[in-house]
Structure 1
Amino acid sequence: MTAFYIVIITMVAMLIGLFFELGRPEMILGSVLVLFLLTGIITPEEATVGFSNEGMLTIALLFIIAGSIQRSGIVDRTFQRLLKGTQSPKKRLSKLLIPIAMISAFVNNTPIVIASTPMVKKWCMENGVSPSKFLIPLSYATILGGTITLIGTSTNLVVHGLLVENGYAGFSFFQLSVIGIPITCLGLLYLVIFSRHLLPECHPSHLSEPDLKEYTGEALITAQFPYMDLTVKEAQLRSLKGLFLVSILRNERVIAPVSGSTILKEGDRLVFCGDISTITELQRMKGLELQESSGSSFPAQHRLVEAIVTHHSSHLFKKVKDTNFRSHHQAAVIAVHRHNQRLQTKIGEIVLKPGDVLLMVAGEAFDKKNDFYAITPIDHKLLNIRDIRMGWLSIIWFGMMIALVTFNVLSMLTAMALTTLLLFLTKLVTPGEARDLIQWNVLLMIACSFGIGTALLNSGVAASMAHFLITITHPFGLLATLLSLYLLTNIFTEMMTNSAAAVFMFPVAMEVARTLEVELLPLAITVAIAASASFMTPIGYQTNLIVYGAGGYRFHDFLKIGFPLTVIVMVTTLVIVRFYLLA
C-alpha cells in the first residue's frame, strides 16, 4: 500500500508541476522516474525500457526524415501556391486546410505550421483579411490530419510502442484511419463553416490598443541625442505612432509611469512597447540605440528573427541576460512579447516563459536548436534546382517506406532506419544535421513516460483507476466506460503533453480491457485519438502554442472554437469504437 500512495501523491504533484509550468516537462518527468526508481516501485530495467522502445526510436528517425523534407523547401513552395489567387476567405480556407491535413498525415505537423504561419499572415495582410480567422484552423487541421496514419503524430507511435512492449501486434500503418478520416472530414467541415463566426477579428489595421501584439524593447540615450535635458513631451516620445513609452531606467531607479514633463538624461534607458516595425525603427533615430539583452547595441546588417519559446526550451524561467543567446544561438534578443501583458522592465531582466515571442537579431550562423519555433523565415534565399530535386528524392524514398510498411514487407522501425540510411548515403542529411533535427527533449520525456506508466501498473494505481471507471459507468454500459476513458485522457492532454497523457492512460486502458474482457486495440485507439485531440487550450499541443502569439488570440478563443470540435471528435470516435470496432 505504501507504493500505491507514493505513486498517487507523486502523480498529483507531477500534474500540478506540468499544468503550472513549474519546470521543463522532461525535467519533471525525469525527476518522477528517478523517484520511482529510488523507492523500488520500478526496477532499473523497467525505468530504462522506454529508451529502447520501438515507438520512441521510430519517432527519433521520423524527426530526421520529416526534417529533410521540410528543409528542402518543397512544403513551403506548396503553401505559396495554395495562397495565390483572389478567392474569398471561406474558399481560401477550404483550399488551405484540406491539403494541410493530408500532408500532416505523413509529415510532423509542427514544421508544417511553422512554415505556413508567416505565409498565411502575409497573404492576409495583402488581402485585407484577419490572420486570426486562419491560424487556429490551420493548427487544428494539422492535428486532425495527424490522426489518419501511424506516423501522423508522435502520440500514435507512442501507443503503438506500448502495444508492442506488452506483447501485442501494434497498429498497422492505416489502422487509425477508420477514425482519423471521419473526424478529419467532419472537423474540417466544421472549421470551414463556423470558424469565421467563432474566431475574433484581429486585423492589423484596426486593432484597439489592448489587442496589439506588443513587444517590449529598450533604447539607450547617447550623447548625440538632440533632445538632451528636455522633457519627454518636447522630445515627441509620447506621440510615436504604434509605440508607447512604458518606463525610464535611470541608474538603478525606475521611472514609471512616465509623464510628459519628465526630463531626459544621457544614459537613460527607455522601455517601449509597440509593434515590430516601430520598435526596430528606433535604431534610425539620432542618439537612440536599440539595445539587445546584453545591454549593447546590435549591428544593423544582421537580419531579424521572430521566434516563440517552446515548452521544452533550455532557457525557460531564466532571465534573458542569463541565457547567453550570443554563444548558444548566434543571436541577440532586442524585444519580447508576452500575451496580454505589458512588460515594464529592461530586456535582460525579463524571465522567459513558454509562449513568449522574441524579436532577435540573428547572425549568419543563427541556430534555433530546439528552443524556439521560428515564425519569421530565417533564410529568404530562393531555392535552387538541386534543393528541389533532392527534396523530391527524399519524398520518393519516404513514399517507398510507407508502401513497404503498408504491405507488411518491413516493420515501421526497419523502414524508418533504411530511409534514414539512404538520406545519409546520398548526403541529403549529415550526422550533424540529424542531431539537430531530433528533438531530444521530446524523446527524453516520452522515454521517461514509459517507466512512469509501469509504476502505475506495479503500484496498483492503474487497476484502481480502471476499477473506479468501470464501477461508476457499468450501469450505463460499455459506451459510458469508453466515454470516461476518452474524457480522462483528453483532460490530461490539455494539462500535459499529448504523448505523456497517452502513456499515463494506456495502463488504465489495459486494466479496463482485462476486467471487461474486451479487445485492447480499440481502447488503445481511443486513448491515441483522445490524447491528440487537444483543441481547447493553447498549451496542450505545440502547434496551438505557435499560432497563439502569431494570431493575437486570447486563451478563451481556443475554448470557444475548440469545445464544439472536441465534442465532434469525441462523439465520432466513441460511436465508431463502440459500434464498429467492439461490435
Structure 2
Amino acid sequence: QEWAQRLRLSASKLLLPLSYAAILGGTCTLIGTSTNLVVDGLVQEKGLPAFGIFDVAWVGVPVLLGGAAFMLLISRFLLPNRASMASQWEDAREYHVEMLVAKGSPLAGRTIQDAGLRNLTYGFLTDIQRDERLFTAVGPEMTLQEGDLLAFVGVPECARELQRINGLQAAHGGAHKLGLNNHQRHLVEVVLSPEFPGIGRSVKETGFRTRYQAAILSISRNGKRVPGKVGEQCLKVGDTLLLETSQQFVEQYQYRRDFMLVSPLKDSTPPDFRRAPVAVAVLVAMVMANVLGLASTLEAAMFAAGLMIALRCVTVNRSRMNVSVNLPVLVVIGASFALGKAMESSGAAAWIVEQVIPEGGLSPFMALVIIYLLTAVFTEMITNNAAAVLVFPIAIGVAEQLGVSPMPFIVAVMFAASASFMTPLGYQTNLMVMGPGGYTFRDYLKIGFPMSVVVAVISLTVIPMVWGF
C-alpha cells in the first residue's frame, strides 16, 4: 500500500500479485506453507520417508518462475484499477520532523536517492542543514554526511517511517535521552487542553521531557506544521504534539486534564538494527540445521525461536504479543484430519478411487492429472489444508491400484492444494488483500484461472521428472 501511494498507483495493481507471490514462494520449501507441513505429516504417518526442507524446491522454483513471468507480462492487463481504502495523507495533520544522520550511520556517503529519502510515503524532505549552511533545494544526487540535520514535512506516520530507516535518529530530544530501550519506544499524539500547565510558555520552559517522560518530535497547529526548533515553540491550547515515549504514557495520561486527547500510533516501535545481523545468523543456522539433518523442522524452529529471545533480538513480552493462535484454522485442520481418516476407514476413499480409475485402467500420468485437478477444485471451495487432507488418501489409493510409487501423487496434492488463485476463500493471503484492494470474486477468477493453468502445466510436467512412477 505504501508503494502504491508512493508511485501514485491504485493498490489493486499490487496487492493481488503480492498474494500470488506469497503463495508461489511458499511452495519452494517445506516450511513455506502449512499445507506442505500437513502433507509431510501424513507422509510420515504412512511410514514413507519425510521431505527435506528443500526437496520440494525442484518443483517449487520452476512454478515460482513461471508464475512470476505470468504476473509480470500478463497480469498487468487483467488487474483492476480501483481506489484503495487507504485515505490520502494530504488532508491529515501536518508535522515538521527533524532527523539527524547519526555518527557512524550507514547513510553517510550515500545520495538522497540511494538512502530511500526521495520518495517517502508519508512525507518529503524539505531541506538539509550542514554546519552553518542550509540547503533548501535538495536534489536526489546530494550526498549525505554525518551530522546532517534533515527536515521533513508530513503526517504522523512520517515519523514512524523515518524511525525505520537505519542511520537516522530524532534530532531534538528523542526517546534515547529518556533511557528507553527500542522495544519500549512508541509514538503518541496528544492535544493540549486549556488546563495544560505550560500554555503560553516555550517547550524548553515547561520542562516537558522531564515532567512527562516524553520527547516532543514535532508540533502541529490548526492542522499545519509549526516550523523551527521544537524547544523554542510557544505552546497554545489545541496544539497537537507528536511524542516519542513509553507505552505506559497512554495509560497514565489518557484521562488526565493536561491533554484533551491521547492517541497512540499503531506499530510505531522502531526496529533495533543492531540485532539484525544476529537475527539473520539465527535464521541461517535454523535452515542449515534442518538441511544437514541435525534437527527436524520443528526442533530447529523451536531452538531458533529460543535463541531469538536469549540473544535479545526480541523481548519475551513482544514475542508473546506477536504469537497468535488462530483457533478456527486449527479446528478446520483437525476436523479435516478426522474426515480424511474416516474416508479411509469407511471405504469412501476406495470408492472414489474406483470411480476415478475406469475398468480399463489409466496411465499413471493421466491419473496424476486427475488427482491434481481434484485437489485444485477442492482447495478453491475449502481451505488448502483441508483439501490436502481429504485428497491424500485418494491419491494413495490411486497409486496402490496402479501399482506405482505414491510420491508423484503426494507431491501433486501438495502443490495443487497451495495453488489457490481463483477465489479469495482458498488461501488466507487472497482473503487478506480483498478488502484493501477492492477486489471482487470476478477479479480473482479473471486473473486466477490463467494463473492456475500456468502453475498446473509446470507442476504436472516437472513432478514426474523428479519423482518417477
Please tell me the TM-score bracket, short chain as reference. 0.5 to 0.7
TM-score by length of 1: 0.48
Residue equivalent to 1:22: none
Q: How much does 1:186 deviate?
A: 0.6
Count of aligned residue pairs for this structure pair: 298
Distance 1:520 1:438, change over 3 A: farther
Q: Is structure 2 residue 408 aligned with structure 1 residue 522?
A: yes
Question: Can you list the C-alpha shifts for 1:366-410, whole angstroms capped at 9, x where unaligned?
Answer: xxxxxxxxxxx96353625xx223344233212111111112122
- The match for 2:388 is 502
Show the counterpart of 1:106.
none
Partner SS for 2:270: coil
2:439 equivalent to 1:562 = no
In the aligned structure 2, how far is the partner of 1:146 from the partner of 1:467?
A: 33
1:481 aligns with 2:367: yes
By how many angstroms is 1:436 displaced?
A: 5.2
Q: Which amino acid aligns with 1:515?
A: Q
Alignment CA distance shift 1:421-1:213 (3 Å): closer
Matches of 1:520 and 1:438 in 2, distance apart?
35
* Shift in alpha-carbon separation, 1:499–1:389, aligned structure 2, 3 A: farther
Does 2:358 correspond to 1:471?
yes
412, 415, 419: which is aligned to 2:304?
419
Q: Which amino acid aligns with 1:573?
A: S
Matched, 1:581 2:467: yes
Residue in structure 2 matching 1:449, options 331, 336, 350: 336
Instruction: Provide the residue aligned with 2:287 in structure 1.
Output: 402
Aligned residues: percent identity?
39
**Runs (5+) with no aligned partner, structure 2:** 88-188, 192-248, 252-263
**CA 168–435 in structure 1, closer or farther in 2 if over 3 Å, else same:** farther
The 5 A counterparts of 1:297-446 are 379=266, 381=268, 383-384=270-271, 387-426=272-311, 428-430=314-316, 433-434=319-320, 437-441=323-327, 442-446=329-333
- Matched AA of 1:526: A
Determine which structure has the larger helix proportion and give its number.
1
1:206-245 residue CA offsets vs partner (Å, 9 max, x unmatched): xxxxxx899xxxxxxxxxxxxxxxxxxxxxxxxxxxxxxx
Question: Which of 31, 56, 60 is the equivalent residue of 1:176?
Answer: 56
Give the CA RMSD over aligned residues. 2.8
| CA 431–578 in structure 1, closer or farther in 2 if over 3 Å, else same | same
For the 8 Å contact 1:474–1:480, the answer to whether it is kept is no
Provide the rounded CA distance (Å) in 2 between the counterparts of 1:128 and 1:425. Answer: 43
Residues 277-321 of structure 1, C-alpha deviation per residue, up to 9 Å, x if partnerless?
A: xxxxxxxxxxxxxxxxxxxxxxx969xxxxxxxxxxxxxxxxxxx
Distance between the aligned counterparts of 1:523 and 1:378, measured in 2?
49
Contact 1:424 1:431 in 2 (8 A): no
Letter matched to residue 361 of structure 2: H
- Are 1:139 and 2:19 an aligned pair? yes
Partner Cα distance (1:529, 1:128) in 2 = 35
Distance change >3 Å, CA 301–CA 517, structure 1 → 2: farther
- TM-superposition CA deviations, 1:157-190 (whole Å, max 9, x none): 1101111122112211111111100010010001
**Higher RCO by CA contacts (8 Å cutoff, separation 6 or greater):** 1
- Letter in structure 2 aligned against 1:398: L
**TM superposition shift of 1:421:** 2.6
Is the 8 Å Cα contact of residues 474 and 481 (structure 1) preserved in structure 2?
no
Structure with larger Rg = 2
Change (3 A) 1:433 1:389: same
- Partner AA of 1:410 in structure 2: A
Q: Tell me the distance in 2 between the aligned counterparts of 1:485 and 1:512.
A: 9
Please report how far the alpha carbon of residue 425 of structure 1 lies from its aligned counterpart in structure 2 after TM superposition: 3.1
Give the gaps of 5 or more residues in structure 1.
1-117, 205-211, 215-299, 303-362, 366-376
Q: 1:452 to 1:527 in 2, by over 3 A?
A: same
Counterpart of 1:459? 346
Paired residues of 2:11 and 2:437 also in contact (CA < 8 A) = yes
Question: Normalising by structure 2, what TM-score?
Answer: 0.59
Is the CA contact (8 Å cut-off) linking 1:493 and 1:534 kept in structure 2?
Answer: yes
Distance of aligned partners of 1:432 and 1:485 in 2 relative to their CA distance in 1, 3 Å threshold: same
CA distance in 2, matches of 1:364, 1:489: 50
CA contact (8 A) 1:536 1:558 kept: yes
Q: Which residue of 2 aligns with 1:159?
A: 39
The one-letter code sitting in structure 1 at the alignment partner of 2:350 is: A
The Cα shift of 1:557 comes to 0.6
1:478 Cα deviation from its structure 2 partner:
1.8
> In structure 2, what residue type is equivalent to 1:201?
N
| Aligned with residue 427 of structure 2, among 532, 541, 546 | 541
